[in-house]
């Protein structure tokens, strides 16, 4: 009270000038809280992966990541991402073209349907395909008679991965393309370019960095997905095990060093992803969607 | 073609490809997301209300659903508090390492959940780096609901920070200056001017973190210990029922969880609509 009363007389920074920041002890405290929280909850787990991975030594580390089952898991993970990510790129471009360039009824419903997979548990994303294509599923008997296997095989893993990664590309493209409007495309068309040519020569270059941004996030999730894939995979070693599933199997066998060795590859993927993401945010701030600019 | 497609439904446009783009997007969403989800709900409906109710109110199922909801609520609340502090620090203060800290926020989005799960378990297990400190204090984190909450804090944090950050950045500093020049103390300005304006964004982030946490599987199952009635989360119970070939049970629990998620999603949308009306965004 008294301090506030005499402050104007002293011309103190507290009352004389207009105060729109906190005093330094408060600032230091808040920064400290934020740093400690992030260290404890985010950075320490990342560090733990690396420490545990090399605990048994470099030799054991390289044996764990070059062992045939581990290599099969890496191959499967890459293959699944190589199918799921392009599928979601095509979907993202189509959805963004319709939503951002046209006015139609039901647009906002479509826009929120795209985000739907984010609010569905990954386990449910796996479950629904088991219910459709599993031995006891709706199409199970038919598929069995045709000798087609979807669940506990590659197609099921790909479907579950696509499900959980559907929104990533679209939600980067939609807001940016809405912001950009339709003038560029209209100019191109009026100069005689075809629709496809306009799309590939005008629209796509306009959104390329936002597209890349969405793709790297989509790819990180596709390669790292665990719950959905775990339900449809069947955990057949060397065959239907992706990298995260391989980590789980090794961990449950108490082969911790090997589990963390494979996990460290996924952690590296996460770091590369974050690095590219931040680089895009800094370098191409104007060419990615507004909510991503820092 | 597109013009004839929907005279009343679509405003005329000079651009081509509306029919193709919308058709492809709807077919894709329908085949990958909507029809499979509808098939699950249909299967749950075929159990009849009595059958559905019997499964979802079975003590073990109820315990799992309650555990998932309670731990998610606690984690989302902790994330709301610390998420706002972190967003505040990142936007308002300049200090060395700020940009690195800002980049780290998204780690839970990029790090596969299984990796986070085994890493957290290694830290908080009784012989782990943090667990060995807490054990003598009588605090058991790994293999208990506290461990589940820690995993859910990990995966939910970016939702709050990333929702609050842009709103805080846009916040008009002149309003703060006005409050201060009218004689408000800094704490008054923060609690009566700034935080109320941030509240819708905080609530949205809270809802998103909550929705994600309720369905989370990978980061939780390693640290949870998975003891029925104690530390068994609902998504894990679905997996267990599937492994027992109890498809009806799995379907009913899955549908109950879907309903919970939709209720949360609906809540987030209500808040966003309210936010738009209030701030004319």
Nearest-by-Cβ selection for A35 from B101, B185, B251: B101
Q: What is the pLDDT of residue A15?
A: 46
Q: What is the pLDDT of residue A17?
A: 57
Burial B35-60 (b: 16+ CB within 10 A, else e): ebbebbeebbeebeeeebeebbeeee
State both tokens at B239: 């997996």
Residue A225: closest CA among B206, B114, B90: B114
Residues of A in contact with B91 (CB under 8 A): none
Residues of A in contact with B88 (CB under 8 A): 30
| % of chain A beyond a pLDDT of 70 | 93
For each successive 10 residues of chain B (281 residues), what is the average pLDDT?
54 88 96 96 94 94 95 96 96 91 94 96 92 88 93 96 92 86 85 87 91 94 92 95 92 94 80 73 48
Are the beta carbons of A227 and B113 separated by less than 8 Å?
A: yes
Are the beta carbons of A185 and B13 separated by less than 8 Å?
A: no
Measured between CB atoms, does B170 come within 8 Å of chain A? no
pLDDT at A11 over 80: no
Are the beta carbons of B115 and A270 separated by less than 8 Å?
A: yes
Q: What is the pLDDT of residue A13?
A: 46
Residues of B in contact with A133 (CB under 8 A): none
Helix (H, G, I), strand (E, B) or coil at A136: coil
pTM summary value: 0.91
- Paired residues of A104 in beta bridges: B10
Cβ atoms of A143 and A133 closer than 8 Å? yes
Interchain CB contacts (distance < 8 Å): A and B: 301
Interface test with B, best of A12, A83, A98 (most B CBs within 10 A): A98
Q: What is the pLDDT of residue A136?
A: 86
For the segment A119-153, what is each residue's pLDDT rounded down to a tens digit? 899 999 999 999 999 988 889 899 989 999 999 99
Q: What is the pLDDT of residue A104?
A: 92
Interface test with A, best of B18, B36, B101 (most A CBs within 10 A): B36
Q: What is the pLDDT of residue B280?
A: 57
Are the beta carbons of A48 and B119 separated by less than 8 Å?
A: yes
Rg (CA), chain A: 25
Are the beta carbons of B112 and A266 separated by less than 8 Å?
A: yes
CA dihedral A222, A224, A225, A229 (to 10 degrees): 100
For the segment A27-54, what is each residue's pLDDT rounded down to a tens digit? 999 999 999 999 999 999 999 999 999 9
State the DSSP H helix or E strand holding residue A184, giving kind and residue range, or none if neither. Answer: helix A183-190
Measured between CB atoms, does B192 come within 8 Å of chain A? no
DSSP string, A210-267: HHHHHHHHHHHHHHH--HHHHHHH---TTTT--HHHHHHHHHHTT-HHHHHHHHHHHH
Model confidence at A294, in pLDDT bands (50, 70, 90)?
A: low
Measured between CB atoms, does B210 come within 8 Å of chain A? no
Q: What is the pLDDT of residue A9?
A: 44
Are the beta carbons of B173 and A121 separated by less than 8 Å?
A: no
């Amino acid at each position: 009270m008294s301090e506030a009363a005499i402050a104007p007389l002293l011309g103190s920074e507290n009352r004389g000038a207009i105060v729109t920041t906190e005093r330094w002890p408060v600032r230091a405290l808040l920064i400290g809280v934020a740093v400690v929280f992030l260290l404890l909850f985010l950075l320490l787990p990342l560090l733990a992966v690396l420490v545990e991975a090399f605990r048994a030594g470099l030799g054991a580390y390289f044996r764990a990541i070059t062992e045939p089952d581990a290599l099969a898991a890496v191959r499967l993970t890459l293959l699944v991402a190589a199918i799921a990510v392009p599928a979601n790129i095509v979907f993202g471009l189509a959805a963004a073209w319709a939503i951002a360039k046209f006015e139609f009824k039901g647009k906002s419903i479509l826009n929120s349907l795209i985000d739907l997979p984010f609010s569905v548990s990954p386990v449910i994303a796996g479950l629904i395909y088991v219910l459709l294509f599993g031995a006891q599923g709706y199409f199970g008997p038919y598929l069995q008679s045709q000798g087609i296997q979807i669940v506990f095989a590659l197609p099921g893993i790909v479907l579950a991965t696509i499900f959980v990664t559907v929104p990533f590309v679209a939600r980067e493209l939609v807001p940016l393309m809405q912001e950009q409007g339709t003038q560029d495309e209209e100019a191109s068309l009026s100069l005689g370019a075809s629709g496809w040519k306009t799309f590939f020569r005008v629209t796509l270059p306009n959104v390329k960095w936002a597209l890349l941004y969405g793709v790297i996030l989509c790819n990180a999730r596709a390669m790292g997905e665990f719950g959905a894939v775990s339900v449809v995979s069947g955990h057949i070693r060397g065959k239907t095990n992706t990298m995260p599933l391989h980590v789980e199997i090794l961990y449950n066998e108490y082969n911790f060093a090997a589990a963390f060795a494979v996990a460290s590859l996924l952690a590296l993927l996460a770091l590369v992803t974050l690095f590219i993401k931040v680089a895009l945010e800094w370098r191409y701030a104007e060419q990615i969607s507004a909510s991503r600019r820092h | 073609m597109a013009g004839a497609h929907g005279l009343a439904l679509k405003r005329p446009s000079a651009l081509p490809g509306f029919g193709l783009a919308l058709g492809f997007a709807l077919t894709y969403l329908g085949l990958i997301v909507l029809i499979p989800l509808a098939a699950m709900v249909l299967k749950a409906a075929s159990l009849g209300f009595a059958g559905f109710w019997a499964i979802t109110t079975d003590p073990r199922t109820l315990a799992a659903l309650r555990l998932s909801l309670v731990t998610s609520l606690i984690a989302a609340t902790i994330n709301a508090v610390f998420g706002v502090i972190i967003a505040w620090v990142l936007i308002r203060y300049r200090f060395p390492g700020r940009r690195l800290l800002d980049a780290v926020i998204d780690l839970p989005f990029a790090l596969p959940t299984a990796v986070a799960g085994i890493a957290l378990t290694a830290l908080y297990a009784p012989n782990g780096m943090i667990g060995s400190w807490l054990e003598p204090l009588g605090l058991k984190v790994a293999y208990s609901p506290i461990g589940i909450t820690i995993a859910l804090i990990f995966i939910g944090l970016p939702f709050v920070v990333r929702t609050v950050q842009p709103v805080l950045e846009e916040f008009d500093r002149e309003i703060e200056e006005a409050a201060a020049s009218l004689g408000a103390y800094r704490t008054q300005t923060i609690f009566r001017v700034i935080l109320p304006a941030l509240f819708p964004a905080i609530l949205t982030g809270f809802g998103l973190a909550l929705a994600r946490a309720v369905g989370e599987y990978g980061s939780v199952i390693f640290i949870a210990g998975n003891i029925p009635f104690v530390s068994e989360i609902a998504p894990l119970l679905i997996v267990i029922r599937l492994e027992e070939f109890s498809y009806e049970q799995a379907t009913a629990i899955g549908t109950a969880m879907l309903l919970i998620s939709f209720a949360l999603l609906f809540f987030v949308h209500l808040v966003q609509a309210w936010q738009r009306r209030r701030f004319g965004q």
